[in-house]
A and B are shown apart, each in its own frame.
Chain A
Amino acid sequence: MAILIKLAIFLMAAIPSADAGGYWEGEYYHNVSDGKMLTESHTRNLASGLSLSAVLNIVLNYNVDGDAPGYDVNFRANQTAEEDVYYSRLRSNITHTLSKDGEDPVVREVNAESYIIMPKKFDANQAINVHFSQENGSEAEVNATFIYDGESYEFCIGSVINESETLNLYLYPYCPLLEGLDLDYENAYMDLAGGDDFDYEGSFVMQALQTEGGR
C-alpha cells in the first residue's frame, strides 16, 4: 500500500508582515500509516533586510527505520528567525512518536538549529545542525531555495547520521549577482542588572566585517 499520509496541519500560528522582521511559528501533525517516510515542508518568509520577495523554502525528508505498519508519527516544529537576515536563525524542536500496536511508543527528539549569514552580495552561508537524540540509521536531507528579485537559488545536501547520532549540514550558497546588501551585521544582546549600589552590564556581540579593500 502506498504511503498514506493523514496530514493535519496546525500551522502558521502567527505570521507577521514580511517587513516586521522575520518570524515564523507553526505546528505540524503528520500521521504516517506505514511508518516508512515522513515528508514535511514549509515556506517561511525572510523579512527585513533582504527583500519582501525573499523566500526560504526548506524541505526535510526523514526516512524512518522499521517497516511495520501502524506507526503514528507526530511531528511538531517551532521555528523562529531573528529579525536580521544577515544573521538569521532558525530553531526546530521536533518530536517523533512512533507507535506500533502492542508495543510501547518510540519517541525520538530532533533539535535543529540553522544559521544564515548573508554578507555583501548575498554571499550567504547556512549552517544546519541536526541532533538526533535517539536511534541511528536515519537519513536527513535539506533543500533550500533562496528567491531574490525573481532569481531562484537552490541548494541541496543530504547526509546519513553518523554513529554519534549527530548530523551536520552546511550550505554554502554563493550568489554573486545579488547586490546592495551591506556587509556589517551586528547581533547583540544586553543583560542588565542594577541595585542601590552597583550596576552590571553583560553583552555578547557578533559582527560580520570586511577587510579593507574587500569587495
Chain B
Amino acid sequence: MKLLGSGRAIKALSLLLVSYFYVLSGSSTVSISCNYYNGDGELSEDISVENAGFEGTVIILPYEMEGFSIFSEGKGQTADVHRHSKLSHKISATNMVTTNELQVDLKSLNARYSWVNKGTVSPDQADLSCASQGTIKPGDAGGESELSEASSLLQATSLGKTITAESALRASPATTAVASVGWGLEAKLGTHESLLNQYTNIRSRPGYLTYPTSQQEGFITTGMTLEGQDEETGKPLFSKRYVPVPKDEEHPDGFGFPLSLGVMKVEDDSVYMENKLTMTMRWQEGDLENPGDGE
C-alpha cells in the first residue's frame, strides 16, 4: 500500500470527518474493496459475502480527538441459517512504518455465525491495531448443523519482526451438542512494544461433555499456530508454536495437533465443558541478533 502525497498535504485535504455506512444482504455474492487514508496512514479492506449480511463504518479524523486517526469496523452474520454461507474479510493497515494484515474466512451450512473486525490507525504514526472476534452457533433445533468452518490469519510486521498467527476450526455433524464456538485475535503494534493475542473457546451445551479424541472424525477440529521471522533476514525467531502442542518425543502426553474433540451426552443436564486455546506474544525493540528460543 502506498500513501498519497505528504502527510501534511493529505491531512489538509482530510479536514472533514468522513463517515459512511453500508449494508449488504441477500442470496448472492457481493464483494467490496475500499481504501481509506489520510496523512497518518491507510486502511484497506476487501470483503466478500455470500448469503450473509455485512455492515461497516469508517471514520477518518484529521484531529487527535478520539485517540485514532482512521477507524474502521465491519461486522457480518449469516442471513439465512438454512443456506450455505461464506464470509471473507481482509483488512490491512499501515502507517508507513509498519503494517498489519488480518484475514478472516468463514463458511457454514446450517449454522449461525457472526464476527466483527476492526482496524485502527493512530495519529502521528504511533500505533496500529487490528482485531477480529466472532462466534459460531449451531442452526435451529429443527435442522442439522452440517458444517461450520472458520479460519483466520493475522500477519503483523513491527519492531523488526514479522509475526504470523493462524487459527482454524472445523465443526461437522452433531455440532448441535456444542453451544457455541468463540474465537478472537488482535494485534496492537506500537513504537516500543507490540502484542498479539488469539484464542478459541469451544463450549458444549449443558448435558454434553467434550473430550479429546485421537479419532480423525472428531466432531470438532481446531488448532492455532504462531510463527515469527526477522523482518530483514527472514530467519525464524523461534520454533513454530502450536496450541495444542503436537505429540512428539518432547511432548508424549500432549493432546496432539490439531485438537480433535468428541461429544458425549451425560445424565446431568447441568454440566458442560469449556475448551480454551490461547496464544499470546509480546515483543519489544531489542537485540535481533540473539532472539533466543527459551522453552
Give the number of residues in B that approach A within 8 Å (Cβ atoms): 56
A60 vs B252: C-alpha distance when bound (angstroms): 24
With a CB–CB cut-off of 8 A, which chain B residues contact A113? 213-214
What residue in chain B is nearest A175 (Cβ atoms)? B267
- The interface bits of chain A over 119-158 (1 if a CB of B lies within 8 angstroms of the residue's CB, else 0) are 1110101010101000000000000000000000000000
- The interface bits of chain A over 146-173 (1 if a CB of B lies within 8 angstroms of the residue's CB, else 0) are 0000000000000000000010101010
With a CB–CB cut-off of 8 A, which chain A residues contact B281? 198-201
In the complex with contacts A192-B295, A204-B255, A115-B212 CB distance below 8 A:
yes
With a CB–CB cut-off of 8 A, which chain B residues contact A210? 270-272
Give the number of residues in A that approach B within 8 Å (Cβ atoms): 46
In the complex with contacts A129-B213, A195-B237, A200-B270 CB distance below 8 A:
no
B291 & A195 in contact (Cβ 8 Å cutoff): yes
A193 & B241 in contact (Cβ 8 Å cutoff): yes
> Which residues 183-198 in A have Cβ within 8 Å of B in the complex?
183, 189, 191-198
B278 lies within 8 A of chain A by Cβ: yes
A-B contact list, 30 entries, CB within 8 Å: A113-B213, A119-B266, A127-B211, A127-B213, A127-B262, A131-B214, A131-B215, A168-B215, A191-B241, A191-B242, A191-B295, A193-B239, A195-B290, A195-B293, A195-B294, A197-B285, A198-B237, A198-B282, A198-B284, A198-B291, A200-B279, A202-B245, A204-B243, A206-B274, A207-B275, A208-B273, A210-B272, A211-B270, A214-B268, A215-B270
Shortest 9 CB-CB contacts between residues of A and residues of B: A197-B286, A214-B270, A195-B292, A198-B283, A202-B243, A174-B267, A195-B291, A204-B244, A115-B211
Chain B contact residues, CB within 8 Å of chain A? 159, 161, 206, 209-215, 224, 226, 228, 237-239, 241-245, 253-255, 259, 262, 264-268, 270-288, 290-295
